[in-house]
Chain A
Amino acid sequence: MGARDDEGHEVNRSMLAYALGMLARRRGKTIALTGGLALAVALVAAVLFLADALRGEAERARAAIPDVVVQRLVGGRPATLKVQDGKRLEGIPSVARVDARVWGYLFLPTLQGNVTVVGVREGSTALSTAPSGALSAGKDLARGAHEMVAGTTLARALGLRVGDGLQLPSATPSPLLTLAGTFDSSVELYAADVILCDEEDARAVLGLAADEATDLALTVKNPDEARVVSRTVLDRLPGTRVVEKELLGRVYALVYGRRAGLVLAASIPAILALLILAWDRASGLGPEERREIAILKATGWSTRDVLSVKMLEALLVGALGTAAGLFLAYGWVFVIGAPGLRPALVGWSVLYPEAPLTPMVDAAQLLAVALSVLAPFVALSIVPAWRAAGIDPMDAMRG
């Protein structure tokens, strides 16, 4: 039994060595095949890695946002609500809290871009300094001191340092805001373009009256009742739009999934060209290879042996090409920041967060990508060898 096992291992090793020798003899073809496969895998895997990482980042902060957000629509466009509208929702059973939020966008001509101005309500939890806090420099804003906390990217773009003052453009007179602190890189993806300031200062900058709010944030005692609460909100405030926290997850999946789909769709010609090249190289058995197979068969190799060697050849090229593609994709997205791909997938903006993305990929996903490439590749390579192995060796050697 042991001797038979040893013999079997030896046969396998000799077949592997022979398959490698065949690949080495056709070096040009092997390199073209491996390179083409690696590039196709790298392109597809990089898009999947990037979309997954973006979804993961968006999900990371979802737990802390309100269960239900109520907005008012006028002519199909978002409009401000009255703060008193919140009072009409406070009596809804299972609504623990209603907050009238003040926030909005402000166009800064110097940047040619929008910033997000957020009013901080009295009683909000204070921000602390990194590593466990959200601030990298300075301190949280003091109430009534006309201070602000801004994203590092924004502060850098405006040339601001902690202690500097900034007069934001506004239709109504607004106070000069002093930069009290900047956000840490750990929250940069969420706050690169954000200015936090007192609610009163935010009202002045955004031009909101004292009785106006951008939207209402509802905290629900039992999150499972959010759908029921939404219906009650629509009954009490007709013409409003209600966004539930549960729906946000779906929006993220749609937004990044759609963009990933678009990028992949745009890449189809390139991927097809690479696959056609691979197919051509793999399926087109030349006269040399046909003669080689014929010689093997004439010297006593069975069709099964020939197919085994051909399958090993395809496996060697496929495994190496797929592995190289996965490494390329991972390095492209998470080491050098996906140049060329990131703008296509995540859009562009004047204040672009530079923070690196966190990979969400796991072994199961990697295995799925690898198998979806490797299985058809090996299958496609076997077919022509099977056909060649079936013909008479004498005919094949005569050409």
Chain B
Amino acid sequence: MKSLARASLPAVAMLLSLPVAIVGIAAHASHARARRAAEQPAIEELAPRLPTSDLALSGGARWLRAPSLEEPGAAFADGPALPDPDPAGGAMAPPREVWARETTRATK
């Protein structure tokens, strides 16, 4: 009986590895988020002075610093020879009537 329990112990450990991984990673991530939340006052202090909340991660086109403000009207986004940006590069096109309405609104 004891030898059977000992023999099955590594197998039980293998089965438990997945829940342990999920709980361990989720707990570590939650701890990291709490640490980051403590830095939120610094972000909120600076953010109103910045043009956007975009991250300082320029793409291939070096002028594309703030995609939220620039990408909607950019001649090309991210870089030459890259696939078309959203929404043309998306897996599914938006309904044409919605697109037409937005275009009309923007050029009114």
Contact = CB atoms under 8 A, between A and B. Distances in A.
B57 A347 contact: yes
A284 to B, nearest CB: 22
Interface in B18-70: 18, 20-23, 25-26, 28-30, 32-33, 35-36, 38-60, 62-63, 65, 67-70
B73 A241 contact: yes
Interface residues of B, number: 72
Contact of B51 (A20, A21, A76, A103): A103
A318 B53 CA distance: 41
A343 B65 CA distance: 16
A76 B90 CA distance: 22
Interface in A98-139: 101, 103, 105, 107, 113-114, 116, 118, 120, 124-125, 127-128, 130-134
Given A61-B43, A320-B17, A363-B23, A347 B58 contact: yes
A261 interface: yes
Contact of A183 (B46, B65, B78): B46
Interface residues of A, number: 104
Contact of A190 (B26, B47, B59): B47
A304 interface: no
A116 B106 contact: no
Contacts of B85: 258
B43 A353 contact: no
Interface of B: 1, 4-5, 7-8, 10-12, 14-18, 20-23, 25-26, 28-30, 32-33, 35-36, 38-60, 62-63, 65, 67-73, 75, 78, 83, 85-87, 89-91, 105-108
9 contacts: A13-B7, A17-B7, A134-B45, A251-B72, A319-B17, A320-B17, A362-B26, A363-B22, A363-B26
Given A234-B108, A243-B68, 5 more contacts: A16-B15, A118-B51, A120-B49, A184-B42, A350-B62
Interface of A: 10, 13-14, 16-17, 19-21, 54, 57-65, 69, 71, 73, 76-78, 101, 103, 105, 107, 113-114, 116, 118, 120, 124-125, 127-128, 130-134, 151, 183-184, 186-194, 196, 214-215, 231, 234-235, 238-239, 241-243, 247-248, 251-252, 254-255, 258, 261-262, 312, 315-316, 319-320, 322-324, 326-327, 330, 334, 346-353, 358-363, 366-367, 370, 374
